[in-house]
Amino acid sequence: MAAPMKQSQTSFQKKIPTKLQIPGTKPSLYNNQLLISTGIPSLDNVIGGGLAVGTVLLIEEDVFGGYGRLMLKYFCAEAVMTGQALFLGSMDNMPSQILNELPAPILDDPGPDSEQLVTMDTERMKIAWRYQHLPQFQSSPVGTKFGHYYDLTRSMELEVISSINTLLIGQSELTETGSSEHPMNPYYLQLLKRIQEKIESDGFGTAVQQEKRNILRIAIHSLGSPLWGENGGLNQNGNYDPSLPRFLLALRVLMRSAFAVCVITMPTHLFCDEGFVVRVERLCDTVVHLESFAGSEKEKNSLYKEYHGLFNIRQLPSLNSLTCHMPDTLDLAFKLRRKRFSIEKLHLPPELSETASRPQEDPLSNFKSPSQTGSCGTSLGFKNKLDF
Amino acid sequence: MFSDLNNLLAISKENHLQGEFVVISSSKADGSFLIHHFLSFFLKQNKPVCFVGFSQSYNHYNTVAQKLSCNLNAAKTSGQLVFIEGMKLLGDAVSGNRLVKGDNSLMCNTDFDLQKFFLCIKSSLDSLKVNQSQDPVLIIDNLSFLHYIGCSIPQLVMFVNYLLGKVTSQGTGSFVLAIYNDMISVDEESDLLWKNLSHLCSLTCQVTGLESGYSKDVHGELLITWRSRDVKQSQTKKTQFKLLDKNVTFFASGMSSAVL
């Protein structure tokens, strides 16, 4: 009896042994999708842990485009830190310029300090001595970390960046025109071809069997700006031009069969047709929208003085499940400190002084004529039965 | 398959939507749970099903169907289900560089050729009918993608008309079609598509977000409208829903457990 028992001991194994460990990824708790970090841990948190491999994130840029570009840099910097491959395409800027401005990582684990270990050893635990002989557990597994923090005041060294597999696609690479008779804008088509070539040549496709898997990060800056030849979904004759939706659909198909994640920033505020923006959003998986306070009325509003802009989650993907990740709220705010960009819950600043009321409340009280205070208002001189 | 939803739709053992044309529209909320429901429902009724998936890959539909205890792989091998990978088909067609082999290209000059696509669906419907000796069910998720990539509304309405004639002409097949309809935003064309389709159909399911905005506990509203030729009989039902991992809960407006 003993021999078969021994064999059956193994029946309680994990269903899927850790089959593929790709640096910088973790499985999702919700739907078992493989996730990668956006480079901004607070953003990962609100979109359900990170970006699922094989999906497209659309960042709708703020009016001046600065914050959208910053988020893209974080995404690229994370590729460098995890050793993943990077494909960077831009028409508005030189891609090399974006690459040179990546934020430097904050390395918080400089390795175990030898001196500290010695002192730890001599100084025995006094309290709770009965736990002394228990093995020490590590709460978080060591290895490649998921999501890093960066220091915006310094830029990443070029030697570090050159350690990963990068492909930069700028204006000069995209202007090779092929046949004119094609269902898509030539720039988009060229970009699509480049992405496809990269996936095929470096073996990022799911069909290819590989010993050591890696993830391809595709970052596209300001897709759909006028330099791409986009005119808000209209062609020169004023008819509907489906180039951008077609590109996004083809991109989604490419992504679904590859170990790749794509992040696109898009100046959707340049498109005059709201309906076109909705179509573009539908063809991406995760969609977030940035609204910067710079140059707007909200900049001066003391309600918002702690933030630099509003951050809306427009769409979250439901992958392999009926429902998508449901955060508490879709309306958040972003803040740019000296060293760090973060996404936070929008809340009102604390009321510090007892007497002062917020300035934006003042105009309201001016509108209130005594007759309008139907509720228990405190309009002096006008005696209502409900007033007190 | 959600039994609550069957009650709402007045689906019983005798009546499971034979000869009906169901249109599902979603705006601001995701109505794809209805598509998953209909797919697993018809497969469990042993109906032959032809499914065209534009919005997701086969893998997604298969994983969700497994959660609803329905095996698409088995249905595919037994010949009960024909799955047309619309997303891949469409993506390959519009990118143009690796066109479907030979002259089977689905593009006509610079536009998507709906006529060829219709013939493609028609042949799978015919083969299903011959093999399973039963009128098949056609499910399309989601027609709006064809609109997005440049098919005009009159073309699409014509396309749907042809399919409808093909599927429900005998009175025993069913046709389920999903579209996006953003009533809030000013997309006149998608509104036009919705009006045309609701003119043709016999049952509409409108999934909308809450008027008060996003909520974690109430995911949206479902408005079911039966359109019968007799005005007196046509009826509507409105309910709110919350999606769970493997199920959907329905409750009357304002009666969510989070509110009470």
- Average pLDDT taken over every residue of chain B: 87
Interface test with B, best of A28, A190, A253, A276 (most B CBs within 10 A): A253
* Count of beta carbons in the 10 Å neighbourhood of residue A12: 6
pLDDT number for residue B63: 92
Q: Helices marked H in chain B — which ranges?
A: 3-8, 32-44, 58-67, 72-77, 86-95, 114-132, 144-148, 153-168, 188-200
Q: Name which residue leads in pLDDT, A378 or A355.
A: A355
How many helices (H) and strands (E) in chain A?
Answer: 11, 14
List, for residues A134-183, the tens digit of each pLDDT value: 555 444 444 457 888 899 999 998 888 989 999 999 988 888 665 556 77
pLDDT number for residue A208: 81
**pLDDT(B251) > 80:** yes
List, for residues B233-247, the tens digit of each pLDDT value: 778 899 999 999 889
Asked if the structure places residue A381 within a domain, the reply is no
Contact pairs from chain A to chain B, CB under 8 Å: 110
Q: Rounded mean pLDDT of A4-10?
A: 48
**Tokens standing for A237?**
């004759």
Domain that holds residue A266: 25-107+145-345
Question: Does the CB of A199 have a partner CB in chain B at under 8 Å?
Answer: no
Q: Rounded mean pLDDT of A366-376?
A: 47
Confidence of residue A112 (pLDDT cuts 50, 70, 90): very low
Asked if the structure places residue A132 within a domain, the reply is no
List, for residues B206-229, the tens digit of each pLDDT value: 999 998 889 889 999 999 998 876
**pLDDT(A375) > 90:** no
Please give the helix or strand (H or E) that residue A136 lies within, else none.
none
Give the range among B143-147, B174-178, B227-231 with minimum mean pLDDT: B227-231
CB contact under 8 A, B149 and A246: yes
List, for residues A306-343, the tens digit of each pLDDT value: 899 999 999 999 888 888 888 889 999 999 998 899 99
pLDDT number for residue A302: 81
Give the pairing type, strands B81-84 and A85-90: unpaired
Decide if A52 contacts A260 (C-beta within 8 A). no
Asked if the structure places residue A75 within a domain, the reply is yes
**pLDDT(A129) > 70:** no
Asked if the structure places residue A135 within a domain, the reply is no
- Nearest CB to B36; choose among A193, A279, A322: A322
Give the range among A16-20, A38-42, A246-250 with minimum mean pLDDT: A16-20
Asked if the structure places residue A233 within a domain, the reply is yes
Question: Does the CB of A279 have a partner CB in chain B at under 8 Å?
Answer: yes
Whole-angstrom distance, CA of residue B200 vs CA of residue A190: 41
List, for residues A26-79, the tens digit of each pLDDT value: 888 777 789 999 999 999 999 988 999 999 999 999 998 899 999 999 999 999
Q: Rounded mean pLDDT of B102-112?
A: 67
Contacts of residue A203, defined as CB under 8 A and 6 or more positions apart, other chains included, come to A210
CB contact under 8 A, B87 and A252: yes
Residues of chain B with C-beta less than 8 angstroms from the C-beta of A252: 87, 91
- Nearest CB to B33; choose among A274, A282, A322: A322
Number of domains present in the structure of chain A: 1
Nearest residue of chain B to residue A245 (CA atoms): B149
Question: Does the CB of A176 have a partner CB in chain B at under 8 Å?
Answer: no
Q: Name which residue leads in pLDDT, B135 or B12.
A: B135
| Gap from B216 CA to chain A (nearest CA, Å) | 6
pLDDT number for residue A215: 92
pLDDT number for residue A371: 47
pLDDT number for residue A364: 46
pLDDT number for residue A373: 44
- Average pLDDT taken over every residue of chain A: 80
Asked if the structure places residue A272 within a domain, the reply is yes
Q: Tell me the residues of B at the A interface, defined by beta carbons under 8 Å apart.
A: 30, 32-33, 36, 57, 59-60, 63-64, 67, 87-88, 90-92, 94-97, 107, 109-111, 144-145, 148-150, 180, 182, 185-190, 214, 216, 219, 243-246, 248
CB contact under 8 A, B185 and A240: no
List, for residues B14-33, the tens digit of each pLDDT value: 778 888 899 999 988 889 99
Decide if A342 contacts A332 (C-beta within 8 A). no
Interface test with B, best of A34, A199, A246, A331 (most B CBs within 10 A): A246
Bridge partner list, B204:
B23, B225
Asked if the structure places residue A205 within a domain, the reply is yes
Residue type, A7: Q
Domain at A251, CATH number: 3.40.50.300
Whole-number percent of chain A with pLDDT over 90? 41
ipTM over cut 0.90:
yes
Whole-angstrom distance, CA of residue A343 vs CA of residue A349: 16
CB contact under 8 A, A282 and B32: no
Asked if the structure places residue A361 within a domain, the reply is no
For chain B, domains (ranges, CATH) are 3-251 (3.40.50.300)
Whole-number percent of chain B with pLDDT over 70? 91
Question: Does the CB of A96 have a partner CB in chain B at under 8 Å?
Answer: no
The separation between CA B121 and the C-alpha centre of its own chain, rounded to angstroms, equals: 15
CB contact under 8 A, A249 and B67: no
**pLDDT(B99) > 50:** no
CB contact under 8 A, A328 and B216: yes
Confidence of residue A199 (pLDDT cuts 50, 70, 90): very high
Residues of chain A with C-beta less than 8 angstroms from the C-beta of B243: 322-323
pLDDT number for residue A118: 47
Contacts of residue B220, defined as CB under 8 A and 6 or more positions apart, other chains included, come to B28, B29, B30, B31, B207, B208, B209, B210, B240, B241
Residues of chain B with C-beta less than 8 angstroms from the C-beta of A184: 94-96
pLDDT number for residue A280: 93
Give the range among A31-40, A232-241, A252-261, A287-296 with minimum mean pLDDT: A232-241
